[in-house]
Amino acid sequence: MASELNKLTIAEASSKLHAREISATQLTRDCLDRIAAAEPRLHAFITVCEKEALEQARAADARLAAGNAPALCGIPLGIKDIYATRGVRTTCASRILEHFVPPFDATVIERLRADGAIFIGKTNLDEFAMGSSTENSAFGATTNPHDISRVAGGSSGGSAAAVAAHECLGSLGTDTGGSIREPASFCGVVGIKPTYSRVSRYGVIAYASSLDQVGPFAKSVRDAAIMLRTLAGKDVRDSTCSARPVPDYERALTGDVKGLRIGVPREFFVEGMQPEVEQSVRAALKNFESGGASTVEISLPHTGYAVAAYYLIATAEASANLARYDGIRYGLRVNAEDNIALYETTRAQGFGAEVKRRIMLGTFALSAGYYDAYYLKGQKVRTLIRNDFERAFERCDLIVTPVAPTTAFKLGEKMNDPLTMYLSDIFTISVNLAGLPGMAMPCGYDSNNLPIGMQLIAPPFAEEIILRAGDAFERTGAFKPRTPAV
Instruction: Report in angstroms how near the CB of residue 326 gets to other proteins at its nearest.
Output: 6
CB 130 within 8 A of CB 149: no
Applying CB under 8 A, the span of 100-108, 146-154, 221-229, 398-406 interacting with other proteins comes to 100-108
- 234 binds other proteins per the rule CB under 8 A: no
**336, 399 in Cβ contact below 8 A?**
no
| Neighbour count for residue 366 (Cβ, 10 Å) | 17
Candidates 15, 33, 104, 274: give the one binding other proteins (CB under 8 A): 104
- Residues 6 or more apart in contact with residue 438 via CB below 8 angstroms: 175, 181, 192, 193, 428, 431, 455, 456, 457, 458, 466
Contacts with other proteins, 352-391, as mask; x by CB under 8 A: -----------x--xxx--x---x----------------
Question: Is the CB of 200 or the CB of 280 nearer to other proteins?
Answer: 200
What's the min distance (Å) between Cβ of 241 and other proteins? Answer: 9
Paired residues of 103 in beta bridges: none
Q: Which of 149, 290, 339, 483 binds other proteins (CB under 8 A)?
A: 339
Residue of 94, 155, 220, 424 with catalytic role: 155
| Residues paired with 78 in a beta bridge | 121, 171
Nearer to other proteins, 49 or 316 (CB): 316
H-helix or E-strand containing 453? strand 451-457
Pick between residue 174 and residue 407 the one whose CB is nearest to other proteins. 174
Q: x/- string (CB under 8 A) for other proteins, residues 144-183?
A: ----------------------------------------
Q: Is 458 in the site for other proteins (CB under 8 A)?
A: no
Binding footprint of other proteins, residue count (CB under 8 A): 46
Contact between 139 and other proteins per CB under 8 A: no
The CB-of-99 to other proteins minimum distance in angstroms stands at 13
Residue 480 interacts with other proteins (CB under 8 A): yes or no: no
DSSP 8-class letter at 146: T
What part of residues 64-93 is at the interface with other proteins (CB under 8 A)? 82-84, 90, 92
Alpha helix (H) residue ranges in 191-322? 221-231, 275-290, 306-321
CB distance 399 to 454 below 8 Å: no
* Residue 250: exposure state from Cβ atoms within 10 A (0-12, 13-18, ≥19): middle
Residue 90 or 230 with smaller CB distance to other proteins: 90
SS3 for 79? strand
Catalytic residue (one of 137, 179, 220, 280): 179
- Contacts of residues 49-53 at CB distance under 8 Å and 24 or more positions apart, as own/partner, are 49/88, 49/119, 49/120, 49/121, 49/122, 52/88, 52/119, 53/28, 53/118, 53/119, 53/120, 53/121
Question: Where in 386-450 does DSSP place strands (E)?
Answer: 398-402, 438-445
Stretch that binds other proteins, among 27-35, 96-104, 245-253, 285-293 (CB under 8 A): 96-104
Phi, psi dihedral angles at 270 (to 5 degrees):
-105, 160
**210 near other proteins (CB under 8 A):** yes
Q: How far is the CB of 83 from other proteins (least distance, A)?
A: 8
d(CA 144, CA 160): 9
- 80: annotated active-site residue: yes
| Catalytic-labelled residue, pool 80, 193, 219, 414 | 80
Q: What is the DSSP-derived secondary structure letter of residue 448?
A: T
Give the interface with other proteins as residue ranges (CB under 8 A): 82-84, 90, 92, 97, 100, 102-104, 106, 201-206, 208-210, 236-240, 316-317, 319-320, 322-326, 328-330, 339-340, 343, 363, 366-368, 371, 375
Catalytic annotation, residues:
80, 155, 179
